[in-house]
Amino acid sequence: MHVLVLGGDGFCGWPTALYLSDRGNDVTIIDNLSRRAIDIELEVESLTPIRPLSERLRVWKETSGRQIEFINLDLATEYDRLVDVLTRLRPDAIVHFAEQRAAPYSMRTPRTKRYTIDNNARSTHNLLAAMVATGTDAALVHLGTMGVYGYGWSGSAPIPEGYLTVKVPTPDGDLEREILHPANPGSVYHLTKTIDQLMFAFYAANDQLRITDLHQGIVWGTQTPQTIRDERLVNRFDYDGDYGTVLNRFLMQAAIGHPLTVHGTGGQTRAFIHIRDTVRCVEIALLNPPAAGSKPMVFNQVTETYRVRDLAKLVSNLTGVPVANLPNPRREDEENDLVVRNDRFLALGLEPTTLSEGLLDECTHVAARYRDRVDLGKIVCRSVWRAGMATAEDLLTELPDESRPVAEPAAAN
């Protein structure tokens, strides 16, 4: 089928585009290269040396024999061009990754808060409006976030996949109602994904669009079977305080001997998924869209949950690098439990990549290999949730030499 991958140059979008192409689909990437522009703004780079998109696509064609088209288009501001694209390409499916996706960046300044709302809300809504206007009957798969649910909200009940059955007291007794899980976003970024949900619900009901929302956990890992085929296809690896996700940050920190930066007590329990599983989940979702007229289908795109301090301990044990507890720049509970349902993807055949099998591999092959590219001034988180909150000083100002072994298996006992 013909699939548009919106945001196909990003951390999840790029490996998804390659995977879907490799699986025999015709893939068109739509991206405005904003993620690369934000790298420039933050004066940081992916730990892995990513290539310009046109080079990536050329190498992919050489490697796989398959062509991926690229259209440089800003979803938030170029609605008319989007309409032209949908009219011309008549895609069978659309994967929508085209949003600003870092919570710390979304809280950094008034400008980045506003950019995150403006960009994400308008991109999603322009897409929905354009699909209706052009009669595009494509399955739409959107990357949401586990963060829409909040943490610790529902006691011992597992977080359901999108919808919660509640009892509403009425004069005639309790009424059972299935509701969209109440929104408890922890940042402006997460807020945008709760806004997306409302837009999806409306357009699914009013215009019978077929929409799937993937509430993804924290992605870790870098490479997929496709991105690993040539170094010029390598995926992004963000390690900085704004865009780096917690486990990848630990892996990079371990690789250079930087203390593992845990915010607060590290009692936050979070859900995780490997990038290899992300791309598989997207394909499963594309192949199993809801029926027209149904409410949006929601999958929880997670495979494991860990407490952040346990993750840090795991990496510390494997590598001998100590843990540093830093002030938490976020407003969140210090400790929470988390039980998440992910029955749907498992029922549809997902075989999860677990931390225990994938961790070391990732650590040695990626983080250690590119350790010299690290900017030590970008590791500590500096984006705070409210003005005046404390942040830490840089913990390292000079890259240690490579004499100390990294990811030494002996430490794993």
Minimum CB–partner distance for residue 143 and its own copies (Å): 19
**Phi and psi based region of residue 7 (left: phi greater than 0; alpha: psi -120 to 50; beta: remaining):** left
Q: Which residues bind its own copies (CB under 8 A)?
A: 79, 83, 110, 113-114, 117-118, 121-122, 125-126, 129-130, 132-133, 153-157, 164-172, 174-175, 177, 179-180, 182-183, 185, 188, 191, 194-195, 198-199, 201-202, 205-207, 331, 385-387
CB nearer to its own copies: pick between 232 and 295:
295
Residue 280 Cβ, how far from its own copies at the closest point, in Å? 30
Q: How many angstroms separate the CA atoms of 330 and 317, rounded? A: 26
Q: Is 193 a catalytic residue?
A: yes
- Residue closer to its own copies, measured from CB, 215 or 258: 215
State yes or no: is 61 an active-site residue: no
Task: Supply the DSSP symbol for 412.
Answer: G
Q: Is the dihedral of CA 198, 202, 208, 209 positive or negative?
A: negative
From the candidates 193, 239, 243, 269, which is the catalytic residue? 193
Residue 112 designated active-site: no
Q: Which long-range contacts (CB under 8 A, 24 or more apart) does 86-90 make?
A: 86/130, 86/131, 86/134, 86/136, 87/134, 89/2, 89/4, 89/28, 90/2, 90/136
**Residue with Cβ nearer its own copies (24 or 173):** 173
DSSP state of 366: I
CA distance 62 to 383: 41
CB of 323 to its own copies, least distance (A): 28
Sign of CA pseudo-dihedral 199, 205, 210, 216? positive
Rank residues 69 and 118 by Cβ distance to its own copies and give the closer one: 118
State which residue, 205 or 287, has the beta carbon closest to its own copies: 205
Q: Please say whether the beta carbons of 72 and 31 come within 8 A.
A: yes
Are 267 and 308 spatial neighbours (Cβ–Cβ below 8 Å)? Answer: yes
What is the spatial distance between Cα 245 and Cα 340, in angstroms, rounded to a whole number? 19
Q: Which entry of 28, 145, 212, 227 is annotated as an active-site residue?
A: 145
Taking the complex as a whole, the smallest distance from the CB of residue 164 to its own copies amounts, in Å, to 7
CB of 30 to its own copies, least distance (A): 18
Residues 6+ apart with CB under 8 A from 272: 217, 218, 219, 220, 247, 302, 303, 304, 305, 306, 355
Q: What is the phi/psi pair of residue 10, to 5°?
A: -90, -175
CB of 263 to its own copies, least distance (A): 16
CB closer to its own copies out of 39 and 118: 118
- Give the number of other CB atoms < 10 A from CB of residue 36: 18
Set 189, 203, 239, 306: catalytic member: 189
Any idea which residues carry the catalytic annotation? 145, 189, 193
